Amino acid sequence: MKTVADFNFNNKKALIRVDFNVPLDEKFNVTDVNRIEAAKPTIDKILSEGGSVILMSHLGRPKGKQDQYSLKHIVETTSKVLGVEVHFASDCIGDVAQKAAASLQKGQVLLLENLRFYAEEEAGDVSFAKELASLGDIYVNDAFGTAHRAHASTTIIAQFFPNDKCFGLLLAKEIESLNKVLTHSVKPVTAVLGGSKVSSKITVIENILDKVDHMIIGGGMTFTFIKALGGHIGNSICEDDKLDLAIEILHQAKQKNVHIHIPVDVVAANAFSNDATTQIVDVREIPDGWQGLDAGPQSLENFKKIILESKTILWNGPLGVFEMENFAKGTIQLGEYIAESTKNGAFSLVGGGDSVAAVKQFQLEDKMSYVSTGGGAMLEMLEGRILPGIQAILD
């Protein structure tokens, strides 16, 4: 696996696909710099060797050229995070981009305008990719968040750099961390899968059953399993068309000697509201008009024992509606158990939008071995797929 560590960038222009799809407030201020910070080690390495950097990214889902999605809004913040002045090209192809790239000196950074201002980017257009490729000497993909898309800048472009393409340090770390869970894990391995729908996790579950010893199922998915097993779930969220699938998953797990753990009690509420009346009930006996919104205390005790005995932990999805303070305890406690297990030497990987949001919100991020930057990309890797953006570098 070639990374930037395998190249010397002296006098070279590195064309880097980054994921600077960062959130902006109504005044176009960047409200979360994590993705920019994540790309900094790769950029620093190239600049320190006397190279220059051309950054390509998308922002949002523009329909054509729309000012609110211009990457000019993030130039100042990117300069601050990188500690070097970032020059901006008001286009990503054509004369403007060509001139800006040609005049780039050693140690300088250029940010191109939003790639998605052109429909050709998402269409994976070859001539668009070729125009982008003409701007640099070495192609670096450091955007895990878009590695599952066969777009011009993430996949198609690589063919124009047969011997001069590599992974950035961030993308390499993502691949390495996922491989630690999927192929080089230390047993016992525990996967915690939460979130609301079994349907969105089914391929993940099927793919990792061969790789784990324990699987903790939490969040809204719980109730599809409980109902399938004959329990009464009140008004809890449930995918009625997936009841047979839930039983099939339990059957497959038993055959593969994987222990599946489902909450035994829940914090139930009489409305989907932080101010609702709550009670702790048996997960199989939720009264009509009530819905389970968080894992209960006995469930958490059960999960704690499993997590603390694990050597490899994958966490994808919260245990409850953590956005509401009264239903966040399960997710917080789970995070603290994983943090404790990590401190004791386990390898923990957290991925997926909600789990990542939770570890950040509850200040647990630094206590995990690795927090993934790509939601959809990570899910597809967990499903056993080869991501096009990764394959393009390996080819």
**Is 284 labelled as part of a ligand binding site?**
no
Whether 318 contacts 354, CB under 8 Å: yes
Other Cβ atoms less than 10 A from the Cβ of 103: the count is 10
The string of DSSP letters for 239-275 reads -GGGHHHHHHHHHHHHHTTPEEE--SEEEEESSSSTT
Q: Which residues make beta-bridge pairs with 295?
A: 266
Order across the sheet with 265-269: list the strands: 278-282, 265-269, 291-295
Partners of 88 in beta bridges: 111
Q: Identity (one letter) of the amino acid at 275?
A: D
Binding residue per annotation — 292?
yes
Catalytic residue among 65, 353, 360, 385: 353
83 is in an annotated binding site: no
Annotated catalytic residue, options 12, 13, 35, 329? 35
Verify whether residue 376 is a known catalytic residue.
yes
Asked if residue 309 lies in contact with residue 188, where contact means CB atoms within 8 angstroms, the answer is yes
- Rounded distance between C-alpha atoms, residue 91 and residue 275, angstroms: 49
17 is in an annotated binding site: no
Q: Does residue 19 have a known ligand-binding role?
A: yes
- Exactly one of 284, 304, 376, 385 is catalytic; which is it? 376
DSSP state letters, 106-155: TT-EEEE--GGGSHHHHHT-HHHHHHHHTT-SEEEE--GGGTTS--TTTT
Q: Scanning the structure block, which residue is given the tokens 């222990």?
A: 259
Distances (CA, A) of 360 to 24, 90, 332: 18, 33, 11
CB 166 within 8 A of CB 140: yes
The verdict on whether residue 265 carries a ligand-binding annotation is no
21 known ligand binder: yes
Catalytic residue among 197, 304, 311, 385: 197
Q: Does the active-site annotation cover 168?
A: no
Q: Is 125 annotated as a binding residue?
A: no
Consult the annotation and say whether 375 binds a ligand: no
Burial code (b: 16+ CB inside 10 Å, e: under 16) for 22-54 equals: bebeeeeebeebebbebbbebbebbbebebbbb
59 labelled as ligand-binding?
Answer: yes
The Cα–Cα gap between 172 and 150 comes to 18
Give me the helices (H) in the chain, please: 34-48, 75-82, 94-102, 119-123, 126-133, 169-182, 202-208, 221-228, 243-255, 297-309, 329-343, 353-361, 375-382, 388-394
Residue 25, annotated as binding a ligand: no
Q: Please report, in angstroms and rounded to a whole number, the separation of the first and last CA atoms in the chain.
A: 10
Q: Using CA atoms, how far apart are residues 395 and 162, in angstroms rounded to an integer?
A: 8
Active site residue ranges: 35, 197, 353, 376
- Binding-site residue ranges: 19-21, 35, 58-61, 116, 149, 201, 292, 323, 352-355
- Binding-site residue ranges for ATP: 201, 292, 323, 352-355
- Binding-site residue ranges for (2R)-3-phosphoglycerate: 35, 116, 149
- Binding-site residue ranges for substrate: 19-21, 35, 58-61, 116, 149
